[in-house]
Structure 1
Amino acid sequence: MSTSSQTLREADSIHEFFNLVATETLALFEHLEFEFLTEYDVFAPARRGRTRDHEPAELFRGFLHCYYKDIYGVRPIARELQNTLVWLGCDFDRPPSRDAVDRFLTDLEHVVDDVFDRLVEQAAVRGLLDMAYRIDSTDVRAMPSDPDASKCYDSTAEEYYYGYGCTIVSTGAKIPIAAEFTPAKQAPEETAMRVTTDALAVAKPLWMIGDSAYDTLDWHDYLLGLQIVPVAPYNPRNATDPLDIEYRVEDRIENYSEDVDLKQSTLDETYNCRTQVERTNDAVKDCGLGTLRARGRVHARAQVFLALCLRLVVAITNHERGDNPGSTVITV
């Protein structure tokens, strides 16, 4: 550590200094603690050999800062964390080395989905969820050099690309509450059921909204069994004898319930809220779910869940500061 850095660190006016140069990074960490990371065995000090130079909470804050600034990859992140204001703002005692950054990311890959779940709990505690959940899959574009990426086709842009997929359940102001990384954008029914179950473990909504890809009997019957109304357009191509209905739930209610009457206008109005999940997907892409810089499925999955974590942290931060939790930026 340089003499100037020591002086800055030891100065009595350090808090005034940070107030003077308030940044989004400091705001990101103002209302959340990440010390729970020490509960994971993967971050426990090794019984033998070199001890950890930095606490996992410090490094996690460093990654969140970099992702917020659109900085990805071990080398660029390590380089950014050499900036004095940055590593002090992330609460490091000294800037981390590239090896420390790489080692932390490798360890984080084992638990990053659980870390995401912990942050979802923080959003739920703050009342950021509502009574309608939306489910959708989105593309996660990768570099053509990624050996694990699938060759996919984007019918909207009429182009091929290399990448993966991510199925997300969202609610409230662009709040992702469950997700699964998939080999391609189009995910199997098992993935939809698994992500739906994960979302319901957070809290029970009144509505569950999806596009026609979720027009399956198992998904509908599972939700109705929990007294949740599934709203997905009926896909006549799924049946040899198509029904005269707009939504699959109309048929399920007619066959299995005598005292429930849902007007189609109500279903239409509810389904119109589905576009919220698309805005959530865009918000998460702003947080790093866009073009991946990582290579390989394991590294790509870690970047996806880190982006999901950052989206939650930004939403919680804006909520605590009295700003719009749906915004992807923090105003200081």
Structure 2
Amino acid sequence: MSTSASTLQEEGSIDEFFNVVATETLALFEHLEFDFFSEFDVFAPARRGRTRDHHPPELFRAFLHCYYKDIYGIRPVTRELQNTVVWLSCGFDRPPSRDAVDRFLTDLEHVVDEVFDHLVEQAAARGLLDMTYRIDSTDVRAMPSDPDASKNYDPTAEEYYYGYGCTIVSTGAKIPIAAEFTESKQAAEETAMRVTRDALAVAQPIWMLGDSAYDTLDWHDLLLTAGVVPIAPYNPRNTDDPLNIKYRVEDRIEKHSDEIQLKQSILDETYNRRSQVERTNDAVKDCGLGTLRARGRVHARAQVFLALCVRLVVAVTNYERGDNPGSTVITV
């Protein structure tokens, strides 16, 4: 089992605590490739003036470590990296400055979705995806001091909140494979279409599940054209002549194919697996999505995708160690 800092400190074993930190941190990085940072010009030294010494792989490892330990924000991350065992475990030859940490997070926002895509590829290469995709949106609650966040309504919780949103496609053992940072939890149809295309670019599933918010003709036709069966509950909305169907796909297949038939019992059984996406959302929130300590849209978006990256890294690490990839904890 993992050991908390407070427990070890109460026992007076501060050296043991740092050994646990180092062991878990090294486990996070042992099986993953970070050399893809060399592809991004945004981290190159400035052509004129002060050299921007980012150490991208080391700082990315540092943020993964800190988010895994529930440490967020520029100052807390910088403080954590003053611990010798931590900065050595992350690959630094000396602790990074606060300015270096801040600059890295700012520049990372420009490429963090591509970094996320690289980690999705590593999860896919290990067979961690399955043939059922699920799409859903979740709230991302911000600090009251964030000037870019706004007041939004969460229809699931039936309450207002201050912050942003994130649309996620997940599969397998709580594995996020496509995502988009949004201004609110209720994302536009354009966002759903874009995230769906991103997910299909990873691999083609058999099924794609969404709630009634995804009961749109374009979303269904996109998936059916790609050879994927979309399942979203039919929402009659304001029509005066509602269809006698439970899922929109029943009508779309009837209109587009005379040969394919889907039993409603199979659709029901498959749709019942949609709740897995909510467990994925919870797992990503455990990795930082639920504790937004950033100020401003740039850092907020970077933190959202960093949380998604942490979830992928933990899943891959557990898989490589023979543990449950669905767990959000690395055992030592």
Partner of 1:111: 111
Q: After the TM superposition, which residues 157-236 of structure 1 pair with which residues of structure 2 at under 5 Å, given as runs?
A: 157-236=157-236
Partner of 1:10: none
Note the C-alpha offset of 1:191. Answer: 0.6
Note the C-alpha offset of 1:33. Answer: 2.1
Stretch deviating more after TM superposition (150-159 or 316-325): 150-159
Note the C-alpha offset of 1:92. Answer: 0.8
Aligned pair in 2 of structure 1 residues 65, 238: CA closer, same or farther (>3 Å)? farther
Distance 2:173 2:200 in 1: 18
Partner of 2:6: none
Structure 1: segments with no counterpart, 5+ residues: 1-17
Q: After the TM superposition, which residues 15-26 of structure 1 pair with which residues of structure 2 at under 5 Å, given as runs?
A: 23-26=23-26
Aligned pair in 2 of structure 1 residues 243, 54: CA closer, same or farther (>3 Å)? closer
- Residues 292 and 300 in structure 1, CA contact (< 8 A), matched pair in contact too: yes
CA displacement 1:176-217 (0-9 Å, x = unmatched): 000000000001111100000010011111111000000001
- Residues 143 and 291 in structure 1, CA contact (< 8 A), matched pair in contact too: no
Note the C-alpha offset of 1:47. Answer: 2.7
Partner of 1:36: 36
Note the C-alpha offset of 1:261. Answer: 1.4
- Residues 165 and 181 in structure 1, CA contact (< 8 A), matched pair in contact too: yes
CA displacement 1:143-178 (0-9 Å, x = unmatched): 122121121233454432201100000000000000
Partner of 2:302: 302
- Residues 206 and 228 in structure 2, CA contact (< 8 A), matched pair in contact too: yes
Distance 2:134 2:20 in 1: 41
User: Any idea what SS the aligned residue of 1:139 has?
Assistant: strand
Q: If the length of structure 1 is used for normalisation, what is the TM-score?
A: 0.91
Q: After the TM superposition, which residues 78-157 of structure 1 pair with which residues of structure 2 at under 5 Å, given as runs?
A: 78-157=78-157
Pairing 1:311–2:311 present: yes
Paired AA for residue 326 in structure 2:
G
Seq. identity, %: 84
Q: If the length of structure 2 is used for normalisation, what is the TM-score?
A: 0.91
Distance 2:295 2:117 in 1: 24
Paired AA for residue 235 in structure 2:
N
User: Any idea what SS the aligned residue of 2:135 has?
Assistant: strand
Note the C-alpha offset of 1:105. Answer: 1.0
Distance 1:214 1:157 in 2: 19
Partner of 2:7: none
Partner of 2:249: 249
Partner of 2:4: none
Distance 2:117 2:20 in 1: 34
CA displacement 1:282-305 (0-9 Å, x = unmatched): 000000000311111111111000
Distance 1:119 1:86 in 2: 23
Distance 1:224 1:21 in 2: 47
Paired AA for residue 48 in structure 2:
R
Distance 1:289 1:306 in 2: 8
Note the C-alpha offset of 1:252. Answer: 1.0
Q: After the TM superposition, which residues 24-63 of structure 1 pair with which residues of structure 2 at under 5 Å, given as runs?
A: 24-63=24-63
Distance 1:140 1:181 in 2: 9
Structure 2: segments with no counterpart, 5+ residues: 1-17
Paired AA for residue 308 in structure 1:
L
- Residues 54 and 92 in structure 1, CA contact (< 8 A), matched pair in contact too: no
Partner of 1:322: 322
Note the C-alpha offset of 1:225. Answer: 0.9
Paired AA for residue 104 in structure 2:
F
Distance 2:145 2:201 in 1: 37
User: Any idea what SS the aligned residue of 2:202 has?
Assistant: coil
Note the C-alpha offset of 1:100. Answer: 1.1
CA RMSD of aligned residues (A): 1.6
Distance 2:156 2:213 in 1: 16
Distance 1:183 1:35 in 2: 32
Aligned pair in 2 of structure 1 residues 20, 276: CA closer, same or farther (>3 Å)? closer
Note the C-alpha offset of 1:20. Answer: 8.9
